[in-house]
Amino acid sequence: MEHAPSWLINSFVYLAAAVIAVPVAKKLGLGSIIGYLAAGIAIGPWGLKLVTNVEDILHFAEFGVVLMLFLVGLELEPKRLWNLRRPIFGWGSAQVLSCAAVIMGVAMAFGVGWKIALVAGLGLALSSTAIALQAIGQRNLMPTSSGQAGFSILLFQDVAAIPILALLPLLGAVYVSNEALAHTNHALAALKIIAVVSGIILGGRLLLRPVLRWIANSDTPEIFTAASLLLVVGIAALMQFVGLSMALGAFLAGVLLAESEYRRELETDIEPFKGLLLGLFFIAVGMSIDFGVLLLFPGLMAAILFGFLGLKLAVIYALARAMKLPFQERPVFTVLLAQGGEFAFVVFQAAAGANVLSMQTASLLTGAVALSMLITPLLLIAVDKLVVPRYANCNTPNMPEISEQQNSSVIIAGFGRYGQIVARMLLAQGMAPTVLDHDAERIESARTFGYRVFYGDATRLDLLRTAGAGSAAILVVAVDSMAQSLKLVDMAKMHFVQLHIVARARDVTHWNQLRDRGVMHIERELFEASLRSARSVLELSGHTPHEARQVAMRFRRHNLALFEQLYPHHKDAAKVVAVARQGRAQLEEQMAREREQLAEKPQGWNNETADAVQPKR
């Protein structure tokens, strides 16, 4: 690689480090973020010194955070965002101001000057949007109350970074002359900001959709991908030009396109770039950790790191209690917001430039923030293993497990929405199944309606035996977790060979895994409901109820047959795609022919005639 350009060598180094470190970290149960951070430390100035231009890489990699906020915006329609205005500005301002005030107060108590303490408090009060939102997405927390609250606070922090940066020159020791002040047109700067934000809002409403429609009509997928990236890059550049947060601008653009018909296509095109650039961002954070300052002042660095983390943990947990978040969600919510954030790098760098902080102090604070981002994934693992299990039973009834031997011929594992419908139908036919569920609150609720549900984990062999699995004929697997479902099926197949298993599949992958285990009676949980909705859409579009029913039945038969055709190849992605495309084309051709035949039907043709000539399958 002697004559290779530097960008090519650096690209090779980044990709090689990520490919090696991330799988190892995930194998050790540490998560991908730790892998990226470790890769950055290894190749950075304090590791193998393979990459040294950390500043440039960090600025470029921040675009991963920008893309992530754009995708988050695509999931939030303007009406939904408007409904979040109170938690954004209410709880968001409470978190930033309370954390900043506590950190500033403690710093001043230890003799730190008020200006330094104020800047440190404001910078350390911010949290990492990249780490927090990725963890929220991986844990599927966004629909929960803690996920919504965490997102609202993170969004406010992006807004708060702007006035924090504007405050720094006022705190600086360097004062501009009257002549310079005369040439500073603050009104013009404010007008620029208003014009850009208004342009993004109006452009998003009036121009973006027609432009995207025109590009999509060109039938060139790579150009649509380029247009998607151009949209985000352009808006980020505009926001940077007027001194606003690039991520905030991208989020605003995403919200404006949340109701667009191209929303899913935009998500699909941008998702791979977001993942790679976020990985590069975490690598850059790992490289930016200044181990020189850490080695020079290890005690002071540890005091700053654990001091601000401890203070934020206490304040945010108190905030979670005030917000009345569920007990089970508070530990993760607290840890996710306690770490330092990427905007702190910008704040401390700008503070050093404005002579508010010395370079050494800025390096100490930046190092503490980077280390907090490094240890947060480890803290989350510790919380998952040590804290969450203790919280799982908080405020839930203390319920004894199933202990009396049952002898029903049907066992239902899981009494959620799916299991309840199965149980109700059996009860209506005079059959009394044995129902197991391990959610105490759900069981209490079910018992108030007169259902006989037992408390117990169906994946425990002893409890399954007590439920009567040794003599029962049918086991209905209706548990929510895919992993628990597969574990239960494996156990039943090994110990209770007489059982016929009827299982619920969450998606195609789950369906294939159940088939691999020999389960033949499988229903996808949303399939039949989706067909009913599709029938309603057809009827509202002008089809008669009979026509809509026939179309849905033909689609159902075709889909089930296609699943059977795809199953032997489900581990070969290329073959699955090819067979699925061929099956879809065949279905479209078949239905097109049937529509033509119906259009040519003679006078007197009616629904009974259609049923009579419909080929039997």
Q: How confident is the model at residue 453 (pLDDT cuts 50, 70, 90)?
A: confident
What is the SS3 string spanning 557-599?
HHHHHHHHHHHHHCCCHHHHHHHHHHHHHHHHHHHHHHHHHHH
How much is the pLDDT for 54?
Answer: 66
Q: How many helices (H) and strands (E) does the chain have?
A: 31, 6
**CATH number of the structural domain spanning residue 269:** 1.20.1530.20
Asked if 120 and 267 sit in the same domain, the reply is yes
Report pLDDT for 279.
78
Q: Is the pLDDT of residue 316 over 90?
A: yes
Q: What is the CATH number of the domain that holds 413?
A: 3.40.50.720
Residues 358 and 405 in one domain: no
Assign 503 to helix, strand or coil: strand
Regarding predicted confidence, which is higher, 372 or 590?
372
Answer yes or no: is 271 within a domain: yes
**Residue 403 — very low, low, confident or very high, per pLDDT cuts 50/70/90?**
confident
- Provide mean pLDDT across the span 503-526: 84
CA angle, 191 as apex, 189 and 193 as ends, to 5°?
A: 70
Tens-place pLDDT, residues 223-270: 877 877 787 778 777 777 776 667 677 777 777 777 777 777 777 777
For the cut 50, the answer to whether the pLDDT of residue 605 exceeds it is: no
CA distance linking residue 125 with residue 563, whole number of Å: 52
Residues in Cβ contact with 81 at an 8 Å cutoff, skipping those fewer than 6 apart:
255
pLDDT at 188: 64
Q: What is the pLDDT of residues 561-591, one digit of tens each?
A: 777 777 776 666 676 667 667 766 766 676 6
Asked if 284 and 130 count as a contact pair (C-beta separation under 8 A), the reply is no
Helix or strand holding residue 217 (H, E): none
Tell me, what's the pLDDT at 123? Answer: 92
Range with lowest mean pLDDT among 93-97, 198-202, 312-316, 509-513: 198-202
Q: Are residues 303 and 223 in the same domain?
A: yes
The boundaries of the domain holding residue 564 are 526-617
Q: Tell me, what's the pLDDT at 179?
A: 42
pLDDT of 547 over the 70 cut: yes
Shared domain for 602 and 556, answered yes or no, is yes
Q: Which of 100-114, 492-506, 603-617 has the lowest mean pLDDT?
A: 603-617
Q: What is the mean pLDDT of residues 72-86?
A: 72
404 and 343, same domain (yes or no): no
Map tokens 């009060």 to a residue.
Answer: 125
- Are both 508 and 582 inside the same structural domain? no
Number of domains in the chain: 3
pLDDT at position 146 = 84
Beta carbons of 66 and 245 less than 8 angstroms apart = no
* Pairing label, strands 500-505, 453-455: unpaired
Domain-terminating residue out of 391, 417, 444: 391
**Choice between 91 and 191, residue whose per-residue pLDDT is larger:** 91
Tens of pLDDT, residues 137-154: 777 777 778 888 888 898
* Residue 567, pLDDT score: 74
Look at residue 601 and tell me whether its pLDDT is greater than 60: no
**With contact defined as beta carbons under 8 Å apart, do 256 and 205 qualify?**
yes
pLDDT tens-place string over residues 590-599: 667 666 665 6
Quick one: pLDDT band at residue 58, thresholds 50, 70, 90? low
Q: Which has the higher per-residue pLDDT, 158 or 338?
A: 338
SS3 track for 113-150: CHHHHHHHHHHHHCCCHHHHHHHHHHCCCCCCHHHHHH
Share of the chain above pLDDT 90, in %: 11
415 and 267 within one domain: no
In a domain, 264, yes or no: yes
Residue type, 99: C
How many C-beta atoms surround the C-beta of residue 407 within 10 A?
A: 10
End-of-domain residue from the set 494, 510, 525: 525
DSSP 3-state assignment of 75? coil
Percent of residues in the chain assigned helix, strand, coil, to nearest 5: 70, 5, 25
**What phi and psi values does residue 38 have, to the nearest 5 degrees?**
-65, -40
387-414: average pLDDT: 74
Q: Identify the domain boundary among 493, 525, 557.
A: 525
| 352 and 488 co-located in one domain | no
Q: Provide DSSP, 418-464.
A: HHHHHHHHHHHTT---EEEE--HHHHHHHHHTT--EEE--TTSHHHH
Domain membership of residue 27 (yes or no) is: yes
pLDDT band at residue 2 using 50, 70 and 90 as cut-offs: low
Q: Mean pLDDT over residues 539-567, rounded?
A: 81
496 and 557 together in one domain: no
Q: Which residue is associated with the tokens 């803690």? A: 146
Average pLDDT for 442-461: 79
Indicate whether 116 and 244 sit together in one domain. Answer: yes
Residue-level pLDDT at 144:
78
Q: Report the distance separating Cα 379 and Cα 363, nearest Å.
A: 24
What is residue 175's predicted lDDT score, i.e. its pLDDT? 40
Quick one: pLDDT at residue 205? 67
More confident residue, 605 or 25: 25
Band the pLDDT of 616: cuts 50, 70, 90: very low
- Is residue 387 domain-resident? yes
Is the residue at 1 inside a domain? no
Q: What is the pLDDT of residue 80?
A: 67
In the Cβ-directed half-sphere of 528, how many Cα atoms lie within 13 Å? 7
Is there a single domain that holds both residue 84 and residue 14? yes
Q: Does residue 380 share a domain with residue 445? A: no
Single pTM value for the model: 0.56
**What b/e string do you get for 496-509 counting C-beta neighbours within 10 Å, with b at 16 or more?**
beebebbbbbeeee
At residue 608, the pLDDT reads: 44
